[in-house]
Amino acid sequence: MLHELVKIQLNSAGCMNKGFILEGFPRSAEDAKAVFCDKVPKENPEPVAEGEEAPEIEYDYVLNSKIVP
């Protein structure tokens, strides 16, 4: 929930026009990835046959161009 709130604030007009300073945040690499990157699912080229379980979706992380110039 904290990550979503930070993302909303960083996408606000004030931050977009004037910039921002984050003091004490992100506290870890996971925090930084959650706020500054977007999850993009990797393409799964293998079709799933009937009766088989679908494999877990893997994600790539790309920088959010709205927040990170």
List, for residues 33-52, the tens digit of each pLDDT value: 888 888 888 876 666 677 77
- CB < 8 Å & 24+ apart, contacts of 39-46: none
Average pLDDT along the chain:
83
Domain ranges of the chain: 1-43+58-69
Contacts of 60 (CB under 8 A, 6+ apart): 39, 40, 41, 42
Distance CA 26, CA 37 (A): 13
Prediction pTM value? 0.60
